[in-house]
Every structure is written in structure tokens, then in C-alpha cells.
């Protein structure tokens, strides 16, 4: 029996070493592909592009393309589209995704969402919006955003569950196309939770001071879980928080949330005088103590 266990351990170690070798090989390939893609972006020439043979190489190359496309933020869109067209990367990856299981499918869709896609793939990607796996639906939605925003916003409204903050931040570059924020007002005023969360993320990312009134409305609105985010966004915009409904909202919260608001106000640079108009007595003491830790000790 011990011999059997020893054989299993040896076999496992062999697989471990092989796995590490293939992983490092895949990573080296990805880094080489990143270099080739960067050279192609600077001076487009078909000779600079590597030759892709196997499926493993294709995924490694797709990782490299996604890596470069995400960091370029749509700057070299034409060159990236040529690369994707040259290898038929989008259709090949989508075919692999359709044949894969849930997590692998989500991973391939995540890679697809980061590169420029052809509009002809929209129908096939929309079918994956009905997948049972949440991650597949999210990354299929990201792919839809990469192709057509109007279709994607419709899918977002029918997403079926609330987005988390992480997922909203993942969608943000696709919604904004790495450029200035667009159409944030309808998002903030929307009754839909996902659209409102996306709107708050846009406001925080781009520091949109004009959204102050809409954020105040969210604090007085129905989405309780968004009220804290809206208050934090107002604090980051250095808005006046000494309104009655904000004071009333803070006093209604539990201790952990009140203290979190207090710490947030210190970090965003509110003075003690402003904080006294916003916070209760207990939080004022905490605020003053925290504020003093930014001041040099004399004596």
C-alpha cells in the first residue's frame, strides 16, 4: 500500500513538474508575443508577427493581445484589429469558448472582451448571455460592450442579478471606451440598480462634480446599498455634506458604517469645522483624533 502511495506521489510530482514547465513555457511565449505585438504596433509589418501553431500557443498569443490592447486603451485600434483579423483570433477563440466548460469559457470570453471584436460575432456572443454560469454572462456582456453599446445596455438591464462593485469596475473601461465619461446622467437617474452603480463608478473614476445633485438623490432614494457609495463619491468630490438628509442618514446607520464614513471624511481632506456640521458627537472625537495623526508632533 505504501508502495502504491509512493507511486502516486511520484506520478503527481511528475505532473507537477510538467505543469510548471508548460506554465513557464506558456508565459515565456506570452512575453515574446507581447514584444512582437508591440513592435508591430510601432512599425506594422507581417514579418514581425509570430507563427501560431497549437491551441496552447493561440491562448498564450490571445493573452498577449489582450494585455497590449488593454494597456493601449484603444490608441492603436487599427493595428490591433489587423492583428486580430490576420489570425482570425476572435472567431477561433469564440469557437474554443463555445466548446469549453463554464470557467474556461468565461476565461476565453474575458480575453475576447479585451481585444477589438468583429460585429458579426455579436449573435453568437448574445447566446452566451443565457448561460447558467454568472462569470460567463458577465464576460459575454463585456464582449457585447466591446462590439455595440446599445445592445449591451439592454442586456445589462436584463442581467438578472445585481452587479458587484468589482464587476462594475470591470465593465467601466468598456462603457467609457477608455475616454471621458459619457451619458452618466441617465445612469445615475435610472431606477435600475446596475445602471445606477455603473453611474456612481463613472462619477468616482472621472471626478464629475456636476453629478452632485443626482448623488444626493441616490442617498435619499430606494437603493440602500448604493447610498454609502454615493456618500463616498460626494466626499471624494469635496461637496458640501452638511445637508439635513445626509446628517439624518449618517445618524441612522450602525456604528461600523458611521465610523467608516468618519474615516473616509478624514482621508478625503475635510476639515474639523466641516466635519462638526456633518457628524455626531462620538464621530467628531474619532475624527479629531484621526486628523491629529496627520499633524506633526510638537513637544
Binding residues for another protein, rule: CB under 8 A, are 1-2, 4-5, 8-9, 12-13, 15-20, 22-24, 26-27, 30, 56, 59-60, 63, 66, 70-71, 103-104, 106-107, 110-111, 114, 135, 139, 164-170, 172-173, 201, 204-205, 225, 228-229, 232-233, 255-257, 259-260, 263, 266-267, 289-290, 292-297
Least distance between another protein and beta carbon 230 (Å): 11
Cβ distance to another protein smaller for residue 13 or 120: 13
Cβ distance to another protein smaller for residue 48 or 223: 223
Least distance between another protein and beta carbon 82 (Å): 23
Least distance between another protein and beta carbon 47 (Å): 27
Please tell me whether residue 33 adopts helix, strand or coil conformation.
helix
Cα separations (Å) of 220 from 53, 143, 223? Answer: 58, 34, 9
Least distance between another protein and beta carbon 45 (Å): 28
Sign of CA dihedral 232, 237, 239, 245: negative
Spatial distance between the Cα atoms of 40 and 32, rounded to a whole number of angstroms: 12
Least distance between another protein and beta carbon 43 (Å): 26
Overall residue count recorded for the chain in this entry: 299
Q: Which of 239, 244, 246, 237 is nearest to 218 (CA)?
A: 246
Please tell me whether residue 45 adopts helix, strand or coil conformation.
coil
Least distance between another protein and beta carbon 70 (Å): 5
Cβ distance to another protein smaller for residue 225 or 242: 225
Cβ distance to another protein smaller for residue 5 or 43: 5
DSSP string for residues in 195-226: HHHHHHHHHHHHT-GGGHHHHHHHHTSS-HHH
Cα separations (Å) of 235 from 187, 192, 232, 246? Answer: 20, 23, 5, 11
Cβ distance to another protein smaller for residue 271 or 289: 289
Cell of 234: 460626494
Cβ distance to another protein smaller for residue 66 or 84: 66
Amino acid at each position: 500500500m505504501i508502495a502504491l502511495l509512493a507511486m502516486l506521489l511520484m506520478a503527481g510530482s511528475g505532473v507537477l513538474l510538467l505543469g510548471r514547465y508548460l506554465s513557464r513555457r506558456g508565459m515565456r511565449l506570452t512575453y515574446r508575443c507581447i514584444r512582437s505585438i508591440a513592435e508591430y504596433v510601432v512599425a506594422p509589418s507581417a514579418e514581425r508577427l509570430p507563427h501560431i501553431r497549437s491551441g496552447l500557443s493561440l491562448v498564450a498569443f490571445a493573452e498577449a493581445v489582450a494585455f497590449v490592447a488593454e494597456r493601449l486603451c484603444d490608441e492603436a485600434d487599427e493595428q490591433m484589429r489587423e492583428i486580430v483579423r490576420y489570425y482570425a483570433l476572435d472567431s477561433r477563440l469564440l469557437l474554443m469558448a463555445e466548446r469549453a466548460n463554464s470557467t474556461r469559457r468565461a476565461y476565453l470570453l474575458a480575453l475576447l472582451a479585451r481585444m477589438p471584436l468583429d460585429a458579426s460575432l455579436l449573435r453568437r456572443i448574445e447566446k452566451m448571455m443565457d448561460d447558467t454560469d454568472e462569470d460567463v454572462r458577465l464576460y459575454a456582456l463585456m464582449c457585447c460592450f466591446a462590439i455595440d453599446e446599445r445592445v449591451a445596455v439592454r442586456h445589462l438591464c436584463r442581467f438578472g442579478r445585481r452587479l458587484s462593485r468589482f464587476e462594475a469596475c470591470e465593465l467601466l473601461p468598456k462603457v467609457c471606451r477608455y475616454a471621458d465619461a459619457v451619458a452618466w446622467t441617465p445612469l445615475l437617474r435610472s431606477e435600475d440598480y446596475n445602471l445606477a452603480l455603473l453611474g456612481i463608478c463613472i462619477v468616482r473614476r472621472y471626478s464629475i462634480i456636476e453629478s452632485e445633485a443626482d448623488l444626493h438623490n441616490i442617498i435619499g432614494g430606494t437603493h440602500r446599498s448604493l447610498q454609502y457609495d454615493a456618500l463616498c463619491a460626494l466626499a471624494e468630490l469635496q461637496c458640501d455634506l452638511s445637508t439635513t438628509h445626509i446628517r439624518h442618514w449618517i445618524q441612522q446607520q450602525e456604528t461600523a458604517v458611521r465610523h467608516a464614513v468618519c474615516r473616509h471624511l478624514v482621508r478625503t481632506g475635510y476639515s474639523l469645522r466641516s466635519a462638526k456640521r456633518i457628524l455626531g458627537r462620538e464621530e467628531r472625537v474619532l475624527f479629531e483624533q484621526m486628523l491629529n495623526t496627520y499633524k506633526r508632533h510638537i513637544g
